[in-house]
Amino acid sequence: MGRVCVIGSINMDVVMEVKRAPAAGEVIIARQVKTNPGGKGENAAIALAKLGVDTAWFGCVGNDAYGDTLMENLKKYPLDASWVRRADVGTGIAYIIVEESGENRMIVYAGANEAITAKDIQNICRPMIAESELVLIQLEIAREAICEIVRVCNELGKRLVVDAGPAHGWSAKDLSGAWLVSPNETELSTLAGRQLTSREEILAGARELLAAGIGHVIVKLGDQGSVYVSGGTVIEVPAFPVHAIDTVAAGDSYMAGLCKCLSEGMEIGPAMEYAGKCGAVAVTRTGAVSSLPCAEDIARFEDFLVR
């Protein structure tokens, strides 16, 4: 198993649990408010470490109390976070509304995540990338940094996996050269520039990403599973029946499971099944980092299934 390098966001999540999300102009009383470590980059890095993967992570936090808390939290997990940088701006914050059904809505303040520069990628991350079997990123850090990561991975011949969220402001062409891109249904619509809902439309959207210069595409479809498209190959993997209470970090868990398997040389179909199990475990728990599965959870996955 090779090392996986994760470059991405780290936030403090402010989670509000409600019966349902408010309509415009409506006031809803929250049942509970909690703060938890989060951010798609940190979530994925910790999930990889909990799954037993040799993981290196780079991100940026602010010189504030939230930054102190997040740095202290990273010490709990077996990953290399020695690369993390601190900036003189506020730490990223994600405000998350979690409905009784388990669905969630987020508003994110990027903060220090936007302080990551192309120079950071060259000076700090390039050695990390060079030593890794696989590189995983998301779209929650500065655009110039993401573009530089794509360039460096291509230059070094490294497989770059992009969890394509949030996709606002991005197009398929922007991610050209990535080895694998994985959007959810909403993100795929954004990258394609139009609404995609049916199976045929989703497959067509995925093929547009391939035509833009992306090697492989996996579309995450929540409780409908996931679909892989590359060349003439289409692989569809159904979701697992579990009792979902909170979908926060489910996609991050899926990507961690996928990257674990790919770093071990597993074929894409079995890798997607393992990734689906990781995402399924996450939705049975609340919070972001607190919901991430460990290797033992996946080994006893039958215990999580609804019968």
pLDDT of residue 286: 84
Q: Specify the number of domains making up the chain.
A: 1
Q: How far is the C-alpha of 206 from the C-alpha of 71, rounded, in Å? A: 37
25 inside domain: no
Q: What is the CATH number of the domain that holds 295?
A: 3.40.1190.20
pLDDT of residue 103: 81
Q: How far is the C-alpha of 46 from the C-alpha of 40, rounded, in Å? A: 10
241 inside domain: yes
223 inside domain: yes
Domain containing 219 equals 4-9+44-57+116-304
135 inside domain: yes
Using one digit for the tens of pLDDT, what is the confidence trace for 89-133? 999 998 989 888 878 788 889 999 999 999 999 999 999 999 999
Q: CB-hemisphere CA count at 13 Å for 242?
A: 27
Cα→Cα distances 71→15, 61, 242, Å: 20, 8, 33
Catalytic positions are: 252
pLDDT of residue 207: 98
Task: Look up residue 121 and give its DSSP letter.
Answer: I
Q: Amino acid identity of 271?
A: A
254 inside domain: yes
Phi/psi of residue 93, each to 5°? -135, 135
pLDDT of residue 252: 96
160 inside domain: yes
Q: What is the DSSP string of 122-138?
A: IIIIHHHHHT-SEEEEE
With a cut of 70, which residues of the chain have pLDDT below it? 1
215 inside domain: yes
286 inside domain: yes
How far is Cα of residue 63 from the mean position of the Cα atoms in its chain?
24
Q: How far is the C-alpha of 229 from the C-alpha of 232, rounded, in Å? A: 7
Using one digit for the tens of pLDDT, what is the confidence trace for 208-224? 999 999 999 999 999 99
